[in-house]
Copies of this chain bind each other. A is one copy, B any other.
Amino acid sequence: MTTPTPSGTTRGPAEPTSDARVLLRPLAPGYVTVDGGLWRRTADVNRAAAIPGGLEQLAKAGNLRNLEIAAGVADGDAIGPIFADSDVHKWLEAAAWEYAREPDEQLLADQLHVTSLLAAAQADDGYLDSVPALRNVPRYSDLPWSHELYCAGHLFQAAVAQVRGTGRTELLDVAVRLANHLVVTFGDGPGQLRDVDGHPVIEMALVELYRETGTRAYLDLASWFVEARGTGLIEAHGKQPTYFSDRVKVRAATTVEGHAVRAVYLGAGAADVAIETGDAELLAALDTQYRAMERGKQYLTGGLGARWEGESFGDPFELPTDRGYAETCAAIGGVQWAWRMLLATGEARYADQIERMLLNGFLAGVSLSGTEYFYVNPLQLRADAHAEEDRSPAHGRRGWFDCACCPPNIMRTVSSLTGYVATADGPSLQLHQYAPGTVTAPLDGGTLHLRVETAYPDEGSIALHVEEAPDGETTLALRVPAWADGATLDGEPVTAGTYARVTRRFAAGDTVRLDLPMTPRLTSADPRVDAVRGSVAIERGPLVYALEQPDQEAGAVVDDLRIDVSGGLSDEFRADLLGGVTVVRASGAVVPGPDAGATTPYGPAGTPSSASDQPTEPVRDVTLTAIPYYAWANRGPQPMRVWIPTNAG
């Protein structure tokens, strides 16, 4: 895979080695361009506003100052959370991938300046983590909470991004020194520490560093961290072992539990280990866990994590809408895990998962402006919501957080989004995600160059224009999402939830057209999901919809809306609204509360005098207008709901 790409980048994130046990091989971000539509708008504000603004926020919040103090160029005490460095590392990764997308002198200069601080802050033996060091926390003395390996992991990911995205090796040098220090420090050998970090990420980061450097010891240490988890290392650290995904060994687990971000980062890291070591048993266990998550612990938006307490997964089917946590970072980790499972299994469902998480639970985490964020992404906000917690959506979006894990995590994800679009393998190209732009794939027999013409996800027509084709037969595999019943490929029906394949000798000028049905649809939930009983959601294509207050008729408070499920749905593209969205309209009603004078919300069931189920005001018919969930809360915090009670409920 040595064909030059538009930006010169030849490898993207999480690209397995040639020995890895995978069915699909990534196309580096540089092989794919997106030149319009939703993803491009998102990338543009990420570049123009989020990344420069992020560096300012890191300066303002003290993260950079911590590094300056550790580097000996400033004085003072470390401020911020113990894991403050990790936000710097995520920003560095974002900047590196963004530079790969389109080089820019300032972007490189900023990266190298921050990199130089890290290099200067690094201890002689390779240890590097400014806040614990400045606070004189004995090294690795409190790994369940100190996040030292978590910070190291994000540094490794940034270093790999920097070398792949900019060709510069300064951060890689720092990373290698730190990784070598970890290899010496952790393990089962004499004098070594047998311990794991409370917050996974080191696992996938070490594998990534192994992929970049070829140093097998890094893969071995990643594998060791995966195997050491669940062996009782994290006991009595203020939370149950479940919180840390430490109750059972990874290969014995059958579901996800505890802190959602930790759990999915661990899943992604273990998948990297399984892929690179050819560990089919571990991979099968991860597939089981992922399926359990998808089956009972995931929101319709792809959001992960039902509970505020411990930012954690709930019990199966415990999926509250109002207090759903669905941390933005959990959607990111979910995408990372799904991507690795996609490479390993080639199953379309994992690409469906990536799309669901990216376009809904993830994208809702950032404003249309790119500079304001949600940490948590519930599926409902009531009219009378108050904002008790700093990260409550009732506040509206925020420019930054005290625990600022999400904003730079969003930035690095957006700047590497093109890495999730396509894979190639021998004579085949797989297209997993659809956006207007180009795909340049080095296949057996030569380069396949496609221009993708589509207004997806607003419209369902995706035309692939061949501009250059390899010699010999080539296979185009196009994901047909599971929701796309009725999809056609060049007019012929194709099966939803699979890859539709065309194998032939392509030539410049050929066109292949996939048509996905974009009729809005109503979705209901397993009755075990108690939180949404008697309700339906609106979806259209890959997008989950929401009723938000500003779009409703006067006086029709979102809390009191009902949908008429037999009333049909209509849609309309609104270029003027929220950066350009397709709205969906439905018939419904305003059902006022039953009795404004009621003293309690409870009363006898089914009697006219009931305080509970018989409205005292007449029902008023209204048209409901839904917008894509990702676009909510761009007009201030407003009442919103994804799941709409039916007129039968």
Contacts and interface: CB of A to CB of B under 8 A. Distances in A.
Contact of A648 (B239, B389, B610, B648): B648
A389 to B, nearest CB: 6
B536 A533 contact: no
A300 B388 contact: no
B322 A605 contact: no
Given A315-B382, A605-B536, A320 B531 contact: yes
A267 to B, nearest CB: 17
A318 B526 contact: no
A60 B39 CA distance: 60
Contact of A522 (B322, B388, B604, B645): B604
Interface string A254-295: 000110000000000000000000000000000000010011
A382 B316 contact: yes
Interface of A: 239-240, 242-243, 257-258, 291, 294-296, 298, 300, 306-310, 312, 314-323, 349, 380, 382, 384-390, 394, 521-531, 533-537, 559-560, 565, 591, 593-594, 598-606, 610-613, 645, 648-649
Given A322-B315, A527-B594, A599 B295 contact: yes
A647 to B, nearest CB: 11
Nearest to A395: B240
Nearest to A537: B602
B649 A525 contact: no
Contacts of A565: 605-606
Contacts of A317: 382, 559, 601
Number of copies: 2
A295 to B, nearest CB: 6
27 contacts: A240-B390, A243-B388, A294-B600, A295-B599, A296-B601, A307-B323, A310-B388, A312-B388, A315-B394, A318-B322, A320-B322, A380-B530, A521-B605, A522-B605, A523-B605, A524-B603, A524-B604, A524-B610, A526-B601, A526-B602, A526-B611, A527-B591, A527-B613, A528-B593, A533-B534, A533-B535, A534-B534
A314 B318 contact: no
A239 B309 CA distance: 14
Contacts of A599: 291, 294-295, 349
Contacts of A323: 306-307, 314, 318, 320, 323
Contact of A523 (B309, B315, B389, B604): B604
A604 B538 CA distance: 10
A387 B600 CA distance: 32
A645 B649 CA distance: 11
B612 A526 contact: yes
Given A388-B242, A524-B605, A601-B295, A307 B310 contact: no
A326 to B, nearest CB: 14
B240 A387 contact: yes
B601 A521 contact: no
A384 B645 contact: no
A183 to B, nearest CB: 33
A20 to B, nearest CB: 26
Given A309-B388, A527-B612, 8 more contacts: A295-B600, A308-B308, A315-B322, A315-B385, A317-B382, A521-B605, A525-B602, A530-B531
Nearest 3 pairs of A and B residues by beta carbon? A526-B601, A308-B309, A524-B605
A147 B19 CA distance: 60
Nearest to A529: B601
Given A320-B323, A322-B314, A386 B603 contact: no
A543 B205 CA distance: 56
A60 to B, nearest CB: 17
A316 B600 CA distance: 12
Contacts of A645: 527, 530, 533
A125 B250 CA distance: 58
Which of A294, A382, A388, A611 has most chain B Cβ within 10 Å?
A: A388
A320 B257 CA distance: 20
Given A382-B317, A390-B240, A522-B606, A533 B649 contact: yes
Contacts of A258: 388
A393 B243 CA distance: 17
